[in-house]
Structure 1
Amino acid sequence: MSKRSRTKLRKRNVGLKKKPILDWQERRRQISDALSKKDVSELRILATTGPGLVDDGLRRLCWPLLLHFDHYKDKNKPQEVHNDEHQVLLDVERSCVYFPQGLNHVQKKKKQSELNDVIVGILRRHPKLSYYQGFHDICLCLLILLGKNDAIKAGENIAMFLLRYPFTSIRLFYPILRQLNLLNTLICLEDSEIANFLEESNTLPYFCLSWVITWCSHDIHDYSKVIRLFDFFIASDPLITIYLAARVIISRRKELLTLESDSATVHTFLSKFPQHINIDGLISETIQLYHKHPPHKLQKESNEELDEKSCVNLYEKHWLELKADYSVVDKILSNPPSVKKPVNNSKKSNSNKKQPIIFAVAVTVIAIIITSNWLWRSTLTDTLKFING
């Protein structure tokens, strides 16, 4: 190769290396502009597209706006001990497995103590919330990124407004399972072959339960991927985790359809979140699916209509417009089951063909699992074998 050709090739390679740097610089400028204007709508777009909010330094500035910290007021109420604090401590003692990395024993114990303070701080301020196993995984990510005080504020708003269903109580855990059943409808609408395979193998959608209630923080071992997903979840509709789960399943169709049509085999395969998946690509595909089948239409297509006062159905008018109003949510949490009503949808479909008895047994078994303190360590495959007969 001549000297002139080598020079041209070198310039071309240098140009290729510079382009990503310029893209990152442009993204940081966009985020900084949105922050200076306190433009939450623009931040929400940036958090759900491309590389998201780029790095932890910018996230520390953006997340408070996205989670309405400005509307947080500590009323300094007497902080009585919450009934679930013992369970919190048990979970905290098992935390910090994959991240943060590089902690020695003393540092790990200190981080766990801070994590306990974060969760207990949230529960004592809102005694109507019932702690569930897996929330400690979310709070650990908040603690790593924001520090203890802001993690309490962030976790409080996530619990009250974006992830309210799992906190209602064990006996009312069925609403989150209703969300999972919407997954069947989504898959049926997008890929009938996969839907038929799951139905023939009698595979219920509970393999992705932890993805939904921990925002994937229990299932993904790479902190950078988890925190990128948190950008997405914080800035999106509470039901977005169901859409993401659908995209993950569809992305694995080639491997899935080669499996034996057996519920235990299929459940085991699907319950393992693919660690090397392209997160930015997954988010982009999830957004497309969300716009194609928005929550109100998805509920019309399914036999699973969510409570009219669910965080899903109140997201736009309550969270986006009215901001964080704790008194309203406390009132909702106080409602007995008889007061809760589904949205009034007239259109029904046969997308979800599972029998009510299967759903009832599934709810009972899952509740027992959670109550027995072995949700993440049990072989749910054996449980599903029992459900499926």
Structure 2
Amino acid sequence: MRSGRRRQQAPGCAARAGREVRQNHKDYHQVLLDVRRSTRRFPPGMPEEQRQILQEQLTDLILHVLRARPELHYYQGYHDIAVTLLLVSGERMAVALLERLSTLHLRDFMDPTMDSTKHILNYLMPILQRESPRLHDFMQRAEVGTIFALSWLITWYGHVLANVHHVLRLYDFFLASHPLMAVYFAAAIVLYREDEVLACECDMPSVHQLLSQIPQDLPYEALVSQAQQLFQRLPPRELAKEAALQLHKSIAIGSFSEFQQAASCQRPDAILRQQQQHLTPHKAEAEGLLPPAEHSPLVKAAVWGLTATLGAAALAVTQTALDWAPEFLLQLF
């Protein structure tokens, strides 16, 4: 009887111990504040009780990665990426993916200072200079800098776009691309709005206010294509000197070629198919391989594209994913 009572008390004790570990983390209070402010990132109409459970999972997800990787430093905006992964893939897979991305694509944002992030942003102006000297010179005269794109970059646009399908499409794209692709996409946005920018007063407040507000009705699919074309025409190695990165090494960029080689045999669609062949839909959902049924309003093409990528992304994020994704998505519907 006594041992039975001890066993009954153990879960409560374990839960309290878990809460204490979580609350003792140095970033706990900041993470909690950011998670509480993330209400708009959840699907409209989601029951409050369900949202609160997901916010608890979001807090645990972030703190788990930070505890597992003490060299990483939390930044405001990290939770915007974490919540997207959580909503699409479920808690179990989101942990693996977020930890992997934090050591690769997001690594420079998680340094103790903003130096690496600032240097990553330095790629933006050389792209604009090559594509539109007139626009580049105007922005230089206005002294607007690149800070307007900071929240775009560190949240993968999750914080600034209201349409979840646009967010998921970009996550598909960035997961399958070079770590700098978010900067190339920023350049595509600025170039698309060139006429608006040139019509502004040539001063920092006017240009910054215009550029910091992303229109929600931009042709995002066309901008994805343009960003890819910019990357092909102006690869990072050609811009590194102008971006002054020869003085500051990027961990994300430096590790990407090795990561690509390790990922060269990964086929996310094949992995997902193998998983689905051995699991019923109910069991696949329980295992975190499919989005939960209550998230069904989000299960559109973009979500399936991301979920397919996630099938291999716990091991690797492959740059060739875009080659197979469109055909694979057509087979799912």
TM-score for the superposition, normalised by structure 1: 0.60
**Alpha-carbon shift at residue 286 of structure 1 (Å):** 0.4
Local SS of the residue matching 1:132? coil
**Alpha-carbon shift at residue 152 of structure 1 (Å):** 0.8
**Alpha-carbon shift at residue 87 of structure 1 (Å):** 0.9
1:135 is the counterpart of 2:78? yes
From 226, 231, 236, the counterpart of 1:285: 226
AA aligned to 2:33 is L
Tell me what 1:227 maps to. Answer: 168
**Alpha-carbon shift at residue 306 of structure 1 (Å):** 6.2
1:311 is the counterpart of 2:252? yes
> Looking at CA atoms only, which structure, 1 or 2, has the larger radius of gyration?
1
From 41, 47, 57, the counterpart of 1:114: 57
More helix as a share of residues = 2
Equivalent runs, 1:24-63 vs 2, <5 Å = none
Question: RMSD of the alignment, in Å?
Answer: 1.6
Distance (whole Å) between structure 2 residues aligned to residue 293 and residue 201 of structure 1:
25
Tell me what 2:126 maps to. Answer: 185
Confirm or deny: 8 A CA contact 2:119 2:244 kept in the other structure.
no
Local SS of the residue matching 1:224? helix
Tell me what 1:299 maps to. Answer: 240
Structure 2, unpaired ranges of 5+: 1-20, 264-333
Local SS of the residue matching 1:305? helix
Deviations 1:118-150 (A, max 9, x none): 111111111121110001011110011000111
Greater length-normalized contact order (CA 8 Å, ≥ 6 residues apart): 2
Distance (whole Å) between structure 2 residues aligned to residue 201 and residue 309 of structure 1:
28
Q: Count matched residues.
A: 242
Tell me what 1:95 maps to. Answer: 38
AA aligned to 1:156 is E
Confirm or deny: 8 A CA contact 2:116 2:250 kept in the other structure.
no
**Alpha-carbon shift at residue 197 of structure 1 (Å):** 0.7
Tell me what 2:93 maps to. Answer: 150
Confirm or deny: 8 A CA contact 1:98 1:222 kept in the other structure.
no
Distance (whole Å) between structure 2 residues aligned to residue 292 and residue 90 of structure 1:
42
1:176 is the counterpart of 2:117? yes
**Alpha-carbon shift at residue 185 of structure 1 (Å):** 0.9
Confirm or deny: 8 A CA contact 1:175 1:306 kept in the other structure.
no
Local SS of the residue matching 1:186? helix
Tell me what 1:320 maps to. Answer: 260
Tell me what 2:287 maps to. Answer: none
AA aligned to 1:269 is L
AA aligned to 1:101 is P
Equivalent runs, 1:237-252 vs 2, <5 Å = 237-252=178-193
From 255, 258, 282, the counterpart of 2:199: 258
| Range moving further from structure 2, 107-116 or 257-266 | 107-116
**Alpha-carbon shift at residue 108 of structure 1 (Å):** 2.0
AA aligned to 1:263 is M
Distance (whole Å) between structure 1 residues aligned to residue 246 and residue 128 of structure 2:
17
Confirm or deny: 8 A CA contact 1:100 1:144 kept in the other structure.
no
AA aligned to 1:122 is V
Tell me what 1:49 maps to. Answer: none
Runs of 4+ in 1 over 2 A off after TM superposition: 79-82, 300-309
Distance (whole Å) between structure 1 residues aligned to residue 144 and residue 89 of structure 2:
39
Local SS of the residue matching 2:190? helix
**Alpha-carbon shift at residue 106 of structure 1 (Å):** 1.8
Tell me what 1:62 maps to. Answer: none
Distance 1:302 1:132, change over 3 A: closer
Confirm or deny: 8 A CA contact 1:88 1:116 kept in the other structure.
yes
AA aligned to 2:85 is L
Deviations 1:212-236 (A, max 9, x none): 1100000001111100100000010
